[in-house]
């Protein structure tokens, strides 16, 4: 079993900006290979997941924020409220502008809205391939005077310049948290939560009172093997302390092994197919702070 104790980082990031500044281009570039594109169905009535960027040490969940523009009608008004609520709940906002265009009414409107939330904001100056380098500094100065951006990062979403650096800056900023979505899963399995609960139940049963109910189980991946009635499942048992990790694993991995065997039997009955279950144990000191968000996105814990 692969037992890790790294501080995994994760969080929700909203990309806002006027139409045509390059939001979709940026996401598509980031999505490249390492992303699981979520379905078009909204995950909640409020938010839509646009893409999940997963790495070994971090996961960035990009949230679509529709309607952050000057409302033209009643519905627009409502959309604005929805957008503003989203902005309050994410960990970070990326405000994207077009380097080639000057500050417009649309940008000013968005900046006013940003002032109404306390969520940190990065200014992303896109399309730097279209301007002379000398024009960048004055642009940065102008925007610096309008809002206390946490970072100002010039990029070219089209050509890829600085996109890696932006991703690194986001990762650096995100809080420690669980991997919300499997790295390789496109849609959510309805069975996911039951499987997680089955594993959790075995852990609690086999560790009795030694491990508090604060443990969580995250399903990292569920994959059916092609042309075979075998399902490979990877899951992480998240505990809050190193001592709990030791208990869950047991001497020479005995406890974890038994958890796996018992859970596998139940999951096989649930899915009606043979299951290969791989379990990890991870210490995540304040995963519980993220509980409300997890609930938002359909998790039980």
> Binding string, 6-35, against Mg ion, x = CB under 5 A?
-----------------xx-----------
Which residue among 4, 25, 55, 265 contacts ligand GDP (CB under 6 A)?
25
Query: CB neighbours (10 Å) of residue 1?
Result: 11
Which residue of 19, 133, 190, 272 would you call a contact of ligand GDP, by CB under 6 A?
Answer: 19
Distance CA 283, CA 292 (A): 19
Residue 23 or 202: the one with the smaller Cβ distance to Mg ion is 23
| Cβ(282)–Cβ(239) below 8 Å | yes
| Pairing mode of beta strands 35-36, 48-54 | antiparallel
177 and 90 Cβ atoms separated by less than 8 Å: no
* Stretch binding ligand GDP (CB under 6 A), from 21-29, 67-75, 103-111, 233-241: 21-29
Of residues 7, 89, 130, 258, which one binds K ion by CB under 5 A? 89
The answer to whether the CB of 41 falls within 8 A of the CB of 186 is no
Q: CB 135 → ligand GDP: shortest distance, Å?
A: 14
Hey, what are 232's tokens?
A: 């490979």
Q: How far is the CB of 127 from ligand GDP (least distance, A)?
A: 4
CB of 51 to ligand GDP, least distance (A): 13
275: Cβ contacts below 8 Å, ≥ 6 apart = 230, 231, 232, 233, 264, 267, 268
Which residues contribute to the site for ligand GDP (CB under 6 A)?
17, 19-25, 126-127, 129-130, 156-158
Which residues contribute to the site for K ion (CB under 5 A)?
89
């Amino acid at each position: 079993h692969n037992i890790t104790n790294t501080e995994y980082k994760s969080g929700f990031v909203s990309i806002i900006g006027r139409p045509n500044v390059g939001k979709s281009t940026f996401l598509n570039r980031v999505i490249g290979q390492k992303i699981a594109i979520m379905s078009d169905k909204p995950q909640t009535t409020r938010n839509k997941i646009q893409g999940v960027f997963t790495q070994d040490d971090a996961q960035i969940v990009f949230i679509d924020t529709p309607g952050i523009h000057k409302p033209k009608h009643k519905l627009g008004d409502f959309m604005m409220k929805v957008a503003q609520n989203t902005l309050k709940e994410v960990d970070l906002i990326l405000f994207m502008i077009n380097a080639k265009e000057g500050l417009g009414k649309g940008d000013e409107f968005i900046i006013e809205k940003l002032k109404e939330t306390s969520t940190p904001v990065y200014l992303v100056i896109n399309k730097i391939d279209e301007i002379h380098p000398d024009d960048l500094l004055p642009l940065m100065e102008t925007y610096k005077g309008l809002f206390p951006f946490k970072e100002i990062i010039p990029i070219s979403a089209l050509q890829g310049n600085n996109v890696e650096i932006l991703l690194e800056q986001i990762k650096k900023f995100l809080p420690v948290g669980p991997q919300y979505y499997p790295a390789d899963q496109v849609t959510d399995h309805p069975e996911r939560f039951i499987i997680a609960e089955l594993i959790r139940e075995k852990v609690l049963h086999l560790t009795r009172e030694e491990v508090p109910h604060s443990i969580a189980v995250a399903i990292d991946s569920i994959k059916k093997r092609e042309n075979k009635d075998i399902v490979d499942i990877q899951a992480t048992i998240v505990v809050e302390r190193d001592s709990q990790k030791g208990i869950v694993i047991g001497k020479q991995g005995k406890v974890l092994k038994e958890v796996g065997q018992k859970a596998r039997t139940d999951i096989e009955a649930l899915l009606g197919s043979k299951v290969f279950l791989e379990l990890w144990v991870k210490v995540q000191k304040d995963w519980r702070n993220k509980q409300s968000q997890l609930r938002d996105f359909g998790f039980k814990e």
